[in-house]
């Protein structure tokens, strides 16, 4: 199969550009985009609500922080072996296995409340423990498959168009980020008890996991996969760490600090809405001369806020990728880092300050719209990571990068959880923002441009 560009050379850069180019994508990138949509929809429907689910099952704020840290461990440990497996057996079979693993994780989350409290050796195992167990599986496609997805795009895309290639797949993925939480919000409205309504969400996630796994296995054309040699164990990891392309090092340091900051507070975003502010939405909507009352609980409102966030991300992502072809990847990535860094303090402090001019609920809408801008730099960020890698090694380079970054980020959520419970949410979010600003500044000063974008 011919490996060409993942997108046409049109100069269009509107938010719907990736969709207009959808059927012009190489077959493997197209299938990858569809699989990304299915698994991202399932994961985003569920993951952003899991802290609230855990609290409803009896977990404390600190336990929620530990949950975030376990997620960080998975994100750190899974990408490297996932990338090595992909390079060894090819993306088709690797992604199929990872899809099955993720679907099993959704099933564990679904049945967790039914398992109740179990006593083992005199120790009571609370239902929220099973949320940790499910997490180890549910992140399989997302984390194990990270290297495989990067490698597929790299081998199908011209180097000078990497940001555009990633923008195409990322647009479909982020469309799922838009649809998923909004669909979850609708399903949550079907029952007043959150632990019941959220299981409706989990059941739908299981269906999408099955559909995504089957679709990618049947439709993916593996004939063009670059398959490497056998995995050489720890020595291979050490060699990959030593041989990481030099331009990645400043990016890695800045990115790690920004992600550490985000990791401190990410799992608490839903609790800021449902417990810190306890803000829902009450309004009246007029359609065709008829007025309808809207009354959203904080949990349901959070889903729509995530929808606003992703709508802004989708609108800004393609133009940002096109801008990167003119101004370079570094400025676009730096903009994304800056929004990542500032969002924690904006979320915890700005909405209340705006209540003098607008209702709190609408202030939240503005805040999450601002948050959407942090995703504008993601395609350029991915291009800056995988761009310097040699052909056939994209999976390992990506895995190595994320292994280093996510290993350092591991304790961030536990630290954020400790500060949330034993200091205050304001302290946790302010410290996170300060760390993020330092990381952004470091990258802007020392970060290097990918040669194809100079």
CATH of the domain at 412: 1.20.1250.20
d(CA 317, CA 20): 15
Is residue 197, in this structure, part of any structural domain at all?
A: yes
d(CA 241, CA 301): 43
What secondary structure letter does DSSP report for 224?
Answer: G
Q: Would you state the pLDDT for residue 143? A: 66
Q: Would you state the pLDDT for residue 221? A: 62
Q: What is the mean pLDDT of each successive set of 10 residues along the chain, which is 454 residues long? A: 39 47 55 79 92 94 95 80 69 80 94 84 86 90 62 63 63 80 93 93 96 81 52 64 78 95 96 95 76 85 95 88 86 95 96 93 96 89 72 60 86 96 96 98 88 56
Q: How many residues does the chain have?
A: 454
Q: Would you state the pLDDT for residue 291? A: 73
Q: Would you state the pLDDT for residue 219? A: 73
3-class state of residue 283 by DSSP: strand
Q: Would you state the pLDDT for residue 184? A: 95
Tell me: the pLDDT tens digits for 384-406?
887 655 554 455 667 678 778 88
Strands 123-125 and 281-287: unpaired
Q: Which two tokens stand for residue 155?
A: 């081998």
Is residue 238, in this structure, part of any structural domain at all?
A: no
Spatial neighbors of 318 by CB under 8 A, at least 6 apart, are 13, 14, 15, 16, 17, 18, 167, 171
Is residue 237, in this structure, part of any structural domain at all?
A: no
Q: Would you state the pLDDT for residue 5? A: 37
Mean pLDDT across the chain: 82
Is residue 264, in this structure, part of any structural domain at all?
A: yes
Q: Would you state the pLDDT for residue 453? A: 56
How many separate domains does the chain show?
1
What secondary structure letter does DSSP report for 25?
Answer: S
Is residue 125, in this structure, part of any structural domain at all?
A: yes
Are 270 and 49 in contact, with CB atoms under 8 Å apart?
yes
Q: Nearest to residue 294, comparing CAs of 305, 308, 313, 280? A: 280
Q: Burial, 445: exposed, middle or buried (Cβ in 10 Å; 0-12, 13-18, 19+)?
A: exposed
Q: Would you state the pLDDT for residue 173? A: 73
Q: Phi then psi for 423, rounded to 5 degrees?
A: -115, -90
Domain of residue 31, residue span: 17-225+246-278+293-453
Is residue 115, in this structure, part of any structural domain at all?
A: yes
Is residue 146, in this structure, part of any structural domain at all?
A: yes
pTM over 0.85: no
d(CA 263, CA 404): 15
Q: Nearest to residue 381, comparing CAs of 258, 239, 241, 226? A: 258
Is residue 217, in this structure, part of any structural domain at all?
A: yes
């Amino acid at each position: 199969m011919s490996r060409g560009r993942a997108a046409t050379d049109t100069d269009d850069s509107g938010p719907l550009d990736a969709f207009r180019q959808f059927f012009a994508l190489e077959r493997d990138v197209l299938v990858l985009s569809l699989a990304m949509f299915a698994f991202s929809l399932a994961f985003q429907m569920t993951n952003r609500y899991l802290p609230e689910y855990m609290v409803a099952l009896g977990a404390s704020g600190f336990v929620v922080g530990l949950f975030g840290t376990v997620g960080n461990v998975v994100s750190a440990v899974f990408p490297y072996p996932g990338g090595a497996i992909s390079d060894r057996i090819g993306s088709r079979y690797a992604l199929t296995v990872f899809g099955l693993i993720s679907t099993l994780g959704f099933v564990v989350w679904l049945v967790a409340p039914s398992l109740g409290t179990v006593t083992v050796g005199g120790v009571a195992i609370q239902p929220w423990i099973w949320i940790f167990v499910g997490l180890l599986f549910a992140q399989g496609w997302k984390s194990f498959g990270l290297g495989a997805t990067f490698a597929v795009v790299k081998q199908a895309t011209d180097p000078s168009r990497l940001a555009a290639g990633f923008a195409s797949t990322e647009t479909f993925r982020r469309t799922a980020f838009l649809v998923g939480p909004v669909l979850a919000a609708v399903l949550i409205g079907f029952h007043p008890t959150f632990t019941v309504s959220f299981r409706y969400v989990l059941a739908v996630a299981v269906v999408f996991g099955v559909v995504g796994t089957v679709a990618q296995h049947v439709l993916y054309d593996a004939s063009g996969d670059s398959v490497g040699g056998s995995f050489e164990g720890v020595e291979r990891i050490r060699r990959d760490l030593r041989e990481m392309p030099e331009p990645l090092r400043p990016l890695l340091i800045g990115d790690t600090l920004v992600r550490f900051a985000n990791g401190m507070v990410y799992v608490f975003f839903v609790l800021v809405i449902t417990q810190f502010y306890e803000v829902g939405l009450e309004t009246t909507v007029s359609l065709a001369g008829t007025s309808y009352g809207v009354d959203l609980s904080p949990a349901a409102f959070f889903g729509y806020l995530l929808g606003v966030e992703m709508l802004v991300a989708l609108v800004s992502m393609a133009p940002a990728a096109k801008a990167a072809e003119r101004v370079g990847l570094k400025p676009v990535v730096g903009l994304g880092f800056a929004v990542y860094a500032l969002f924690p303090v904006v979320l915890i402090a700005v909405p209340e300050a705006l209540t003098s001019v607008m209702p709190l609920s609408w202030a939240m809408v503005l805040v999450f719209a601002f948050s959407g801008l942090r995703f504008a730099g993601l395609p350029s960020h991915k291009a800056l990571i995988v761009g310097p890698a040699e052909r056939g090694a994209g999976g390992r380079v990506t895995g190595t990068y994320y292994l280093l970054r996510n290993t350092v980020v591991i304790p961030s959520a536990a630290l954020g959880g400790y500060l949330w419970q034993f200091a205050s949410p304001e302290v946790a979010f302010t410290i996170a923002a300060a760390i993020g600003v330092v990381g952004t500044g470091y990258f802007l000063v020392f970060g290097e441009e990918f040669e194809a974008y100079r």
